[in-house]
């Protein structure tokens, strides 16, 4: 069902507004009519929307944090660091640079067309559909919306029904603070998403898995709608002897087990070279104890699995190796302890698909050649991480592997650099966003050429062609 406001949603003390249901076609038509008026094109309007969204996130952070805790068991600190605070910084970065990003860019004109001027301008696309996932249900819903609004588009947001508390908060608040004629929130599941995908959009931005990504792309093809697919994959960690393994273990544990491992760029498995495979085990065990205590089930900073279906899938992977630490689980509480598995068979179930949970397999390989061969023999990952003291190894991993992103010495932190694009390659996705790259995604870079009618210098290019014209044209073209 399409909701202008959701009844009984968390309101922070504000009165509810009546709910209006409307079919997907009507919603898209309404937003397209708004776009066609030119309402969203002025830079002032775009900045107003971003500033209003920033106020919502900062003034009602507690409402979003409570919803995230309900859906995923996230602590308020993790919610701020990885969701709310992240978005506020993205908005601030966009507001700081938006005027410059939107400035027309002059382009050189060849002699054959002189005198003339050429430049490029960014045109908003129109009506954008954002389909967001459940694992970071605020961040991954609103980060694309920030870019779409900054580019001057109208937006339909479809939050994930798998995180219902967060979906309800988004549906309740966004139409209150953003232009309701330019932004709509659609709640629901497969039927509502299917109805949306039947409509013609000017861009579709989907974050999720490859199976649904193919469905989205097939639907978009019927209207020749461009798509951005932010998918996932098994993001490896290459671990070499000689690295500071104690520090590496702490950073791996931090990146892997935040949000109970339900992070698209989380380290999926460790490729441990030589003796690093044996030595890292004790360091990982100690790092988990430092961060989550001897009983992570009692830690206020450790999350929960989103639902029973995902819990059952993950529980089925716990026996695919020797348990170094963890392995405890409780279905009723949707709890799986931070778990490290060693002596893992590369062909075991835990190594086939993206784990997307708090299980970290260690696969031992003899050298960097074997590690690179292991990575390149599988689908291209969304992220690749490496802990090494060797500059040569860093150069080789940069040159000889392909991944959405590459980070040395720390996992997941590449997302915190606003100047870096975020996106996948191959099976891990297509397209990119964040910062100016969001403006690239949600804009059309239009080319403009202006040649005055006075002094028709093009006459030399008109037929009939003489020997003199031929010599001139060969010289200037």
| Active-site residue set | 230, 264
Angstrom distance (rounded) from CA 55 to CA 62: 13
What phi and psi, each to the nearest 5 degrees, are found at residue 38?
A: 85, 5
Q: Taking the CB of residue 241, how many other CB atoms lie within 10 A of it?
A: 15
Which residues lie below 8 Å from residue 31, measured CB to CB, with a gap of 6+? Answer: 127, 154, 155, 156, 181, 182, 183, 184
């Amino acid at each position: 069902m399409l909701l202008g406001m959701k009844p009984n949603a968390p309101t922070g003390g504000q009165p509810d507004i009546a709910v209006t249901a409307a079919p997907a076609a009507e919603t898209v038509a309404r937003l397209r009519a708004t776009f066609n008026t030119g309402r969203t094109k002025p830079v002032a309007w775009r900045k107003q929307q971003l500033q209003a969204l920033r106020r919502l996130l900062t003034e009602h952070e507690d409402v979003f944090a409570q919803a995230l805790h309900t859906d995923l068991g996230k602590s308020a600190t993790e919610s701020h660091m990885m969701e709310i605070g992240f978005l506020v910084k993205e908005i601030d970065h966009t507001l700081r640079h938006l005027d410059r990003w939107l400035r027309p860019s002059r382009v050189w004109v060849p002699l054959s067309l002189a005198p003339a001027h050429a430049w490029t301008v960014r045109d908003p696309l129109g009506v954008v559909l954002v389909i967001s996932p459940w694992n970071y249900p605020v961040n991954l819903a609103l980060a694309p919306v920030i870019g779409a609004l900054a580019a001057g588009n109208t937006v339909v947001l479809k939050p994930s029904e798998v995180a219902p508390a967060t979906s309800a908060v988004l549906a309740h608040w966004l139409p209150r603070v953003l232009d309701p004629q330019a932004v709509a929130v659609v709640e629901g599941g497969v039927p509502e998403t299917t109805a949306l995908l039947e409509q013609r959009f000017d861009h579709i931005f989907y974050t999720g898995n490859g199976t649904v990504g193919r469905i989205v792309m097939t639907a978009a093809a019927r209207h020749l709608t461009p798509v951005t697919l932010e998918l996932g994959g098994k993001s490896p960690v290459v671990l070499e002897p000689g690295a500071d393994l104690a520090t590496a273990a702490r950073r791996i544990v931090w990146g892997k087990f935040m949000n109970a491992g339900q992070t698209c760029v989380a380290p999926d498995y460790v490729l441990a070279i030589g003796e690093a495979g044996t030595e890292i085990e004790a360091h990982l065990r100690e790092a988990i104890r430092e961060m989550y205590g001897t009983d992570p089930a009692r830690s206020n900073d450790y999350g929960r699995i989103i639902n029973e279906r995902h819990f059952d899938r993950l529980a089925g992977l716990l026996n695919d190796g020797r348990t170094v630490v963890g392995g405890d689980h409780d279905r009723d509480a949707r709890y799986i302890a931070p778990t490290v598995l060693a002596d893992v068979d590369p062909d075991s179930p835990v190594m086939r698909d993206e784990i997307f949970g708090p299980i970290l397999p260690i696969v031992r390989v003899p050298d960097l050649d074997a590690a690179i061969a292991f990575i390149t023999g599988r689908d291209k990952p969304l992220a690749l991480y490496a802990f090494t003291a060797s500059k040569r190894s860093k150069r080789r991993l940069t040159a000889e592997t392909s991944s959405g992103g590459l980070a040395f010495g720390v996992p997941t932190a590449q997302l915190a650099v606003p100047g870096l694009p975020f996106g996948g390659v191959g099976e891990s996705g297509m397209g990119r966003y964040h910062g100016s790259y969001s403006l690239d995604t949600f804009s059309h870079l239009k080319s403009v050429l202006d040649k005055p009618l006075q002094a028709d210098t093009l006459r030399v290019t008109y037929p009939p062609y003489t020997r003199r014209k031929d010599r001139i044209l060969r010289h200037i073209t």
